Amino acid sequence: MENISTLLQEAGLNNPSVTSYVEKWASITQPDRIEVISAADDERLVQEGLAAGEIFPAGDQLYYSRSYYKDTARSEERTVVATHRPTDKGAYNNWRDADEVTAVQVEHMRGASRGKTMYVIPYLMAPVGSPLEKWARGVELTDNRTVVLHMIRMARVGVEYLNNLDNPDEFVKAVHVTGDLENLGQGTEDDKRLFATVADERTILHFGSSYGGNALLGKIAHGLRQAAYDGWDSKEFLSEQFMLIGIKDKEKDHTYYICGGFPSASGKTNLAMMLPPDALGDRYEVYFYGDDIVWLRVDPRDGRVYGMNPEFGAFGVAKDTNEISNPTAIEAIKPGSRTLFTNVAYNPTTQELWWEGRTPTHPEDVTGWLDWRGELISDRPAERQRSTDKGDEWAHPNSRFTTTLANVPNIAPDYEEPQGVPIDAIIFGGRVRDREPLIRAIADLAEGVYDGLTLGAEATFAAEGKEGVLRYDPMSMRPFMSYSEGEYARHWLRIIGAASEQPIFAHVNWFQRDSEDGHFLWPGYRDNLRALLWLLDFKEGRVTGTQTPVGVIPTPEELNLEGFDGSRKDLEAILSFDAAQWERECAHREEHLAQFEGLPEEIWEAHRRVTEAVKAARK
């Protein structure tokens, strides 16, 4: 191979620390070629991917790819955070010793890119000029071309982000090696996959997957895990698995900003892309800022909490995305958008794509259709061809689309504003079939943080695990925790507590079900705006709601129900407080919180206050 330093310089990359980093990992992984990537390389790489059969055409400038069938979701058991300090161990971060993990990964990666190209992807996880820019630079090395195509859509990619730095070493070193996917023993005792963030070395080493959630290192590993660690270590900011929207009240000519965390596959992307209900469309507009990651800091100019989306694209769940549930997403992934689809069903003859919920029923004619494994539907026994049984899906339940933010029709006009936007409200929400009302507002900081720490949701298909089982997911960060939960709570109290004007907290739940027939009690999607408008009214003192032990719940009259066609009886059910269910929940919470070492006393006090009030309400 030619001299690496010369090669990088010819590609316009002149950062000496990047050169030595590439040299080091190239000598370990031993690729045949090295190539430096900028966003302008997209079309060429698409053509190469098509020619190589790695991606397939799916209409005008739409592309399709499949990941290996045992490699379709994040693997939480195989994901670890490593540092040199055992005190960084938390309940959920799978802490490991940094030196041990690094040694294991070097062995995994040694010679593993032979015969392949190493792509050098310099990227920025922030709008250009952001006050958090120094935490946002990274270079991903990957031996997978499709991963490069995803990265170009999900992050700002180009040599300019890494050149001429005051401190040339101030970037995240992110190494991705696909490995021999057919011989990694996925899910067995001898699973060779390992996804490691060596947080105190700002180094990410992922081996054994080409699925986006494990392989796009700018997004989850850097944007969430590493950034959360950096934000805590520097005491400067928070990084959360949050969506971020603006709600413009055209009558008042004022835009409110709400961010919040829902566990994976619980509705962040859908909420961020929400259109107002028709009847409210004249008065309100919803702007998309982000759908998966928000970095939060207090701005010295006015002392308020500002939120910013470090990403450049959206990696959305395909399932159930259609013109009715999410017309904004359908527009964002239309022909000409250069969207990349993963693990949906594909018809190579017609170049059509389909996923469960795309249309009410499967395509009429199954001829030519391939399921997410790449197997012909017509090869299945007749009764399984258009079956809706689990396991017979045409598309993988975690199939995704990858598109740049600029394609999203409700993208905020100022989405690249480097300062971000001032946050009015922070919401938490999960999939919970009972107990948890539509919305409850929490004004107190410690109770808000406590509420986030006790966020629970039924497990979903976005991560390996049992669907439908309730599990706690603090702030929706359980899979991305990089340091101990006690410190995590303390850092939240520190950052939000330093603000001159505290955002209001709220807990939302779009997923309560009828105990008899299981239907959703709330229509969800566009109607979710009604709950958020109430929250803003409450914050501004325009409504008072009903105080309960777990926060303030709206009365039905306080909700804007113009054009609402949901059931009144269901509405009353989701605006009620069930003390018996909450009493049981408080007992579970006590066990959950007890796992967290060094939890601040304020959080325990909040827990005791809530529990006492719940008990009193029972009497």
Write the interaction track for Mn ion spanning residues 283-302; mark x where CB under 5 A is met and - where it is not: ---------x----------
Q: Which helix (H) or strand (E) holds 298?
A: strand 294-298
Q: Applying CB under 6 A, which of residues 319, 362, 396, 491 lies at the interface with ligand GTP?
A: 319
Closer by beta carbon to Mn ion, 112 or else 477: 477
211 annotated as ligand-binding: yes
Closer by beta carbon to Mn ion, 315 or else 534: 315
Distances (CA, A) of 258 to 183, 245, 271, 289, 575: 45, 5, 11, 10, 21
Stretch that binds ligand GTP, among 13-21, 86-94, 252-260, 521-529 (CB under 6 A): 521-529
* Partners of residue 353 on adjacent β-strands: 346
> Under rule CB under 6 A, which residues in 463-482 are in contact with ligand GTP?
none
What residue is closest to ligand GTP based on CB? 524
State the Cα–Cα distance between residues 403 and 340, nearest whole angstrom.
7
What residue is closest to Mn ion based on CB? 269
- Give me the least distance between CB of 38 and ligand GTP, in Å please: 27
**Binding status of residue 512 toward ligand GTP by CB under 6 A:** no
29 by Cβ neighbours in 10 Å (0-12 / 13-18 / 19+) ranks as: buried
**Binding status of residue 510 toward ligand GTP by CB under 6 A:** yes
> Under rule CB under 6 A, which residues in 366-425 are in contact with ligand GTP?
none
- Give me the least distance between CB of 383 and Mn ion, in Å please: 34
**Binding status of residue 310 toward ligand GTP by CB under 6 A:** no
134 DSSP assignment? G
Q: Sign of torsion, CA 216 219 221 226?
A: positive
Closer by beta carbon to ligand GTP, 49 or else 213: 213
State the Cα–Cα distance between residues 178 and 408, nearest whole angstrom.
30
Nearest to 98 by CA among 85, 119, 82, 79: 82
**Binding status of residue 462 toward ligand GTP by CB under 6 A:** yes
Nearest to 305 by CA among 127, 533, 504: 504
111 annotated as ligand-binding: no
399 annotated as ligand-binding: yes
Whether the Cβ atoms of residue 272 and residue 290 lie closer than 8 Å to each other: yes
Distances (CA, A) of 591 to 138, 472, 487, 587, 607: 39, 11, 18, 7, 12
Closer by beta carbon to Mn ion, 108 or else 478: 478
State the Cα–Cα distance between residues 375 and 358, nearest whole angstrom.
20
- Residue 67 interacting entry, from ligand GTP, Mn ion, none, C-beta within 5 to 8 Å by type: none
- Give me the least distance between CB of 267 and Mn ion, in Å please: 8
The three-class DSSP label of residue 518 is: coil
Stretch that binds ligand GTP, among 259-267, 340-348, 538-546, 607-615 (CB under 6 A): 259-267
- Residue 15 interacting entry, from Mn ion, ligand GTP, none, C-beta within 5 to 8 Å by type: none
**Binding status of residue 321 toward Mn ion by CB under 5 A:** no
- Catalytically annotated residues: 266
Whether the Cβ atoms of residue 20 and residue 134 lie closer than 8 Å to each other: no
Stretch that binds ligand GTP, among 38-46, 135-143, 268-276, 280-288 (CB under 6 A): 268-276
Residue indicated by tokens 């010793």: 97
Long-range pairs of 104-109 with CB within 8 A, sequence gap ≥ 24: 104/194, 105/175, 105/194, 105/196, 105/205, 105/207, 106/28, 108/177, 108/179, 108/192, 108/194, 108/207, 108/208, 109/25, 109/28, 109/29, 109/175, 109/177, 109/205, 109/207
202 annotated as ligand-binding: no
State the Cα–Cα distance between residues 186 and 378, nearest whole angstrom.
28
State the Cα–Cα distance between residues 449 and 598, nearest whole angstrom.
15
Helix locations, 236-381, DSSP H: 268-272, 327-332
264 annotated as ligand-binding: yes
Q: Applying CB under 5 A, which of residues 72, 197, 269, 460 lies at the interface with Mn ion?
A: 269
Stretch that binds ligand GTP, among 91-99, 247-255, 314-322, 417-425 (CB under 6 A): 314-322
319 annotated as ligand-binding: no
> Under rule CB under 5 A, which residues in 183-222 are in contact with Mn ion?
none
Nearest to 260 by CA among 289, 283, 237, 219: 289
231 by Cβ neighbours in 10 Å (0-12 / 13-18 / 19+) ranks as: buried
- Give me the least distance between CB of 437 and Mn ion, in Å please: 24
Beta strands in 416-550 (DSSP E): 421-422, 425-429, 439-442, 456-458, 470-472, 504-508, 546-548
74 annotated as ligand-binding: yes
**Binding status of residue 267 toward ligand GTP by CB under 6 A:** yes
**Binding status of residue 184 toward ligand GTP by CB under 6 A:** no
Contacts of 562 (CB under 8 A, 6+ apart): 277, 279, 280
Closer by beta carbon to ligand GTP, 257 or else 522: 522
- Residue 319 interacting entry, from Mn ion, ligand GTP, none, C-beta within 5 to 8 Å by type: ligand GTP
Stretch that binds ligand GTP, among 43-51, 231-239, 433-441, 523-531 (CB under 6 A): 523-531
Stretch that binds ligand GTP, among 118-126, 248-256, 313-321, 373-381 (CB under 6 A): 313-321
Binding residues: 74, 211-213, 264-270, 398-400, 431, 525-528
Binding site for ligand GTP (CB under 6 A): 262, 264-270, 291-292, 316-317, 319-320, 325, 462, 510-511, 520, 524-525, 528
Binding residues for GTP: 265-270, 400, 431, 525-528
Binding site for Mn ion (CB under 5 A): 264, 268-269, 292
Binding residues for substrate: 74, 211-213, 264, 398-400
